[in-house]
Amino acid sequence: MNFLAKIVFRNILRNRRRSLMTGSAVAAGALAMLLFGGYVGYIFAGLQTNSVQRTGHLTVFHSGYFQFGPGNPAAYGIDHYQDVMGLIQEDPVLKPMLNVLTPTQSLVGIAGNFSGSVDASKTFLGEGFIPSDRNRMKQWDEFHTGSRPAPDPRLTDADLNRGLVGFGVARMLGLCGPLKLADCPAMPAAKPSGSGSAAAVVDSDLLGLAQRDAGSGAPQTDPQLQLLAATADGAPNVVSLTVAGVERQGVRELDDNFIAMNLGLAQQLVYGRGEHKATGIVLQLKRSEDMPAARARLAVLFKQHGLDLEVKDFGDLNPFYGQVVKMFSGIFLFIAMVMGVIVLFAVVNTMTMNVMERTNEIGTTRAMGVRPAGIRWQFVSEGMMIGVLGTAFGTLAAIAIALTINHAGLTWIPPGNANPVPLKVDIFGKPMLMVGTWIVLVLVATFAALIPANRAARIPVVDALRHI
């Protein structure tokens, strides 16, 4: 063993209890930083996975859609969207990056349930997509979060008329009974409005329009809603939606307005018999790290082909993600700073006591010919060694606790989610967290030791030898 390392190690063992306490402070710092960092890292991965499963990494919109389109989706549809998709699909740069490429159609309108004794309607936010593509998107799990919902069999590409509604929509439109929903209060009986009232006439007209548009289909057993929206030309259009079930949304406002449907039905409602467009083309990539490159390539591609399109990423579409990342990053930084200060003071205190107790020894070795820098380096090395040993112990403890948590089968509901996802502490897939924790704590311990080490190096030899 190197002579210095030998001296440093033996001096650490010389005051076992003191070194143990200081090392424990460092270990506690490492434990807290790694566990919280791993937890936060997993939250970020979970949120990102959830967002990418829903909205993909990138979405192509007609220019201006992001600012103004949601108020009038029909006016901001992408013309010849299938050609644009073909362009993206066949691009040699983008092709290997793509996992799923799929169109979506957003819409707003009024949904009504006029069956039997129920007579209710409300505004809705609709989303049209290709069910099989959506199911494939939900299998994306780059960060191995374990959040892979089973494919939803309720919607199929072939059956255009089936859709899902938010729990709040189901409640407000009286679908709790027909859908046999638990914890869903039945709608109170409405006051009779009279067969000749204006409302009854409108309801009857909507029902008639929807039935005419749907043709003479087979009798339905699932409840139906009539969806009314303005077409791109401004004319009212109505379609019937067979409600196949409920898809809870994590945000109440969305849950009270959400209706998901097949892309074809959404396009039929918005564009009628005119040219069908799409409000967005979703790109889900295989790897998130390809996002900047894909985005840049799309910009080049659109410019080359003179397409008036813009690209937004999942962060733009899910501002909540960015807010959560900022909040947890701030908390992590705060915890890291607190732990750093604790380690700093613990090491300063220990090394100061070591210097005081070994002042005579310092004088002896200085008299033997050790330079001041040698004394400084020895005490700094001791602080560094305490930092290394403490961080190593803390890392081992963090790994043990993380493994226990990860195998405990715990779940949690992320912000904005409706369904629980596995709770894990991801410190194994975060090399930067591990390296960063080591660097920070060992540097803090080393810097803390530098203060008493400098003092030790400056003690006059004669004074040090006189010290008792």
Partner 1 sequence: MITMPNRVAPASPQPNARGAQPAVRLKQVAKTYQVGAVDVPALKDVSLEVPYHRFSTLIGASGSGKTTLLNLIGCIDVPTRGTVEVCGEDVSELDADGMSDFRARNIGFIFQNFSLVPVLTAYENVEYPLLLVGVRPEERRRRTLEMLDAVGLTAQAGQRPNELSGGQKQRVAIARALVKRPQVVLADEPTANLDSATGASILKLMRQVQAESRTTFIFASHDPQLISHADEIFAIRDGEIVGHRSGAKS
The residues binding partner 1 (CB under 8 A) are 2-4, 6-7, 10-11, 14, 360-375, 377-378, 460-462, 465
List, in order, residues 6 or more apart from 100 with CB less than 8 Å away: 56, 133, 136, 137, 140, 282, 283, 284
Please, what is the minimum distance in Å from the beta carbon of residue 441 to partner 1?
A: 25
Closest CA to 208 of 123, 122, 116, 114: 114
Spatial distance between the Cα atoms of 61 and 84, rounded to a whole number of angstroms: 11
Please, what is the minimum distance in Å from the beta carbon of residue 43 to partner 1?
A: 47
Closest CA to 79 of 92, 63, 91: 63
User: Whose Cβ is closer to partner 1: residue 79's or residue 463's?
Assistant: 463
Please, what is the minimum distance in Å from the beta carbon of residue 22 to partner 1?
A: 18
Please, what is the minimum distance in Å from the beta carbon of residue 25 to partner 1?
A: 23
Spatial distance between the Cα atoms of 321 and 234, rounded to a whole number of angstroms: 35
Please, what is the minimum distance in Å from the beta carbon of residue 356 to partner 1?
A: 15
Spatial distance between the Cα atoms of 430 and 436, rounded to a whole number of angstroms: 10
Closest CA to 11 of 459, 389, 368, 393: 389
Are 262 and 161 in contact by the 8 Å Cβ rule? The answer is yes
Q: Strand, helix or coil at 128?
A: strand
Are 205 and 215 in contact by the 8 Å Cβ rule? The answer is no
Please spell the DSSP secondary structure of 72-111, one letter per residue.
-GGGGPBTTHHHHHHHHHH-TTTGGGEEEEEEEEEEEEEE
User: Whose Cβ is closer to partner 1: residue 274's or residue 460's?
Assistant: 460
User: Whose Cβ is closer to partner 1: residue 6's or residue 303's?
Assistant: 6
Q: How many residues does the chain have?
A: 468
The distance from CA 400 to its chain's CA centroid, rounded to whole angstroms, is: 26
Please, what is the minimum distance in Å from the beta carbon of residue 351 to partner 1?
A: 14
User: Whose Cβ is closer to partner 1: residue 82's or residue 364's?
Assistant: 364
* DSSP E strand stretches across 183-318: 224-230, 236-246, 258-262, 280-285, 309-313
User: Whose Cβ is closer to partner 1: residue 14's or residue 80's?
Assistant: 14
User: Whose Cβ is closer to partner 1: residue 22's or residue 242's?
Assistant: 22
Beta bridge partners of 237: 229
Tell me which H or E stretch contains 359: helix 359-368
Q: How distant, in Å, are the alpha carbons of 48, 92, 147 from that of 44? A: 6, 31, 13
Are 429 and 328 in contact by the 8 Å Cβ rule? The answer is no
User: Whose Cβ is closer to partner 1: residue 252's or residue 458's?
Assistant: 458
Please, what is the minimum distance in Å from the beta carbon of residue 364 to partner 1?
A: 4
User: Whose Cβ is closer to partner 1: residue 297's or residue 366's?
Assistant: 366
Please, what is the minimum distance in Å from the beta carbon of residue 446 to partner 1?
A: 17
User: Whose Cβ is closer to partner 1: residue 3's or residue 407's?
Assistant: 3
Please, what is the minimum distance in Å from the beta carbon of residue 6 to partner 1?
A: 8
Please, what is the minimum distance in Å from the beta carbon of residue 327 to partner 1?
A: 48
Please, what is the minimum distance in Å from the beta carbon of residue 463 to partner 1?
A: 10
Which two tokens mark 137? 């998107």
User: Whose Cβ is closer to partner 1: residue 377's or residue 428's?
Assistant: 377
Please, what is the minimum distance in Å from the beta carbon of residue 447 to partner 1?
A: 20
Spatial distance between the Cα atoms of 262 and 243, rounded to a whole number of angstroms: 12
Q: How distant, in Å, are the alpha carbons of 245, 254, 293, 350 from that of 300? A: 42, 35, 11, 60
